[in-house]
Amino acid sequence: MKYLSTRNSNLKITSAKAIASGLAPDGGLLVPEVLPSVTAEDISALCRMDYRGRAVSIMSRYLEDFSVEELREYCSKAYSSNYDTEHPAPLHILDDTTAYLELWHGPTCAFKDMALQMLPYLLTASLLKTGEEKKVCILVATSGDTGKAALEGFKDVDRTKIFVFYPVDGVSDIQKLQMITQEGENVGVCSVKGNFDDAQTGVKKIFGDKAFAEAIAEKGWFLSSANSINWGRLLPQIVYYFSAYCDMVNAGKITLGEKINFCVPTGNFGNILAGYYAKEMGLPVNRFICASNENNVLTDFFMSGKYDKNRAFHTTISPSMDILVSSNLERLLYKFCGDEKTKQYMTDLFGKGDYTIASDVATALREAFSAGCCDDAETKAEIKRVFDGYNYLIDTHTAVASKVLGDYRKETGDNTPAVVVSTASPFKFAADVLSALGTDNAGDPLTALSAASGVAVPRPLSNLESRTVRFTGCVNPTDMPSQVSGFIG
């Protein structure tokens, strides 16, 4: 299987090259030439496997450069004692029609671990498979969770360095502490004056700077990405949609072949896109519900067919979704529109700030996706509703999806069994979750939330404030290249 650029389908490279590169030379995103099919018999077999077996089965269909034995080794290491549960992505069954897919049991308590514990194995192996002699610097822009997960995944990995940029006022206190106290000899962290889109745009400009690439190549380095623009980051996320479906079957909530819905809190569009790819492979999915906070650019896009980032940017209590440029939407556009139109849409987006897709394409997208949004007050009310009614604690991002799913059901009458994709531990946003519960936030919010909920503080988040702060830098977006250059040395 070869991989193509969303902006030039004539470009064809191997999976190892796609993972090592991260981004296509023309700035496009790399996509598989075809999506492999999964039959009902295949899904039945997946139901009898553990999560690691499911991951090997799904990923091997995309990675012809890797042997099954290699993937088994990577999965056994990526999903092991670094998780606090035997099942890395367990389902919490709320009632007869709703379950929450808990993707936050890994070392950083966020769903990004599901891919970023795997990516270092895929990337380092890809360097060997492609004969790459240079070392790689992983460059990341984060809205909160990706940064820590990437830092944790790549710390002290041979032949790599990793540098993370985050918006100075755009992450939670706990997310910030996780990053600026990160251990490892090959890691760097810096905040950016501006929002996530400013950081993301700055990183993309560095990737597109040929002079910069030549300068670091002379030092024996090249750049790659751990954001979901890297196919090696997106691929492991496809797995947990199959796994959730199998767990719904095994729990007796659906029968094999019955369709379900997924509601996904969505910012950069990678998480929900992975689910869509699973559906296109053959997973029985009725509908994906794209849930946004007040930064509802995706909600408007699916409703109108116009993507318009020329709008107010809101800082919310679900900061990982505070995004106006959803990078992975480009991959979806490519599937429906081809490379020429996708390239033009991206030119328009970064030129004038908007683009409008053809009406027939907009109609086709609405056949697969619904969309909704809610504000901070509604998010808090949903946290309280779920906790009071079910004694189940959810974070501020999961609550957005939970609320939007409820709204969707009321509006459509569609009560198809649904999985809410739960993307972070509520303790990562402890102060806002406490506020939602109407509980006093005196003292340490982690301890207070544990006392209020009866849930233990996750081990990776305990004693964060006592850890040594290593990174305090803050730069303008224009100074980001010099930070990376200095970090590489």
- For the chain, how far is it from start to end, CA to CA, in angstroms? 37
User: In sequence order, what are the beta bridge partners of 134?
Assistant: none
Token reading at 63: 């990675």
SS3 sequence, 108-155?
CCECCHHHHCCHHHHHHHHHHHCCCCCEEEEEEECCCHHHHHHHHHHC
Q: What DSSP state is assigned to residue 156? A: T
Cβ(301)–Cβ(269) under 8 Å? no
Can you give the length of the chain in residues?
489
Q: Which helix (H) or strand (E) holds 292?
A: strand 285-292
CA distance 102 to 25: 36
The residue among 3, 96, 88 whose CA lies nearest residue 53 is 88
b/e code 366-380 from CB counts within 10 Å (16+ = b): eebbbbbbbbbebbb
CA distance 224 to 430: 33
CA distance 190 to 311: 26
Ramachandran category for residue 96: left, alpha or beta (phi over 0 → left; psi -120 to 50 → alpha): alpha
CA distance 296 to 292: 5
Catalytic residue among 2, 12, 17, 112, which?
Answer: 112
Look up 112 and say whether it is catalytic: yes
User: In sequence order, what are the beta bridge partners of 3?
Assistant: 13, 32
CA distance 151 to 156: 9
**CA-derived radius of gyration, the chain:** 21
Q: Write the DSSP assignment of 303-314 as a string of letters.
A: HHSEEE--S---
Q: Which residues are known catalytic residues? A: 112
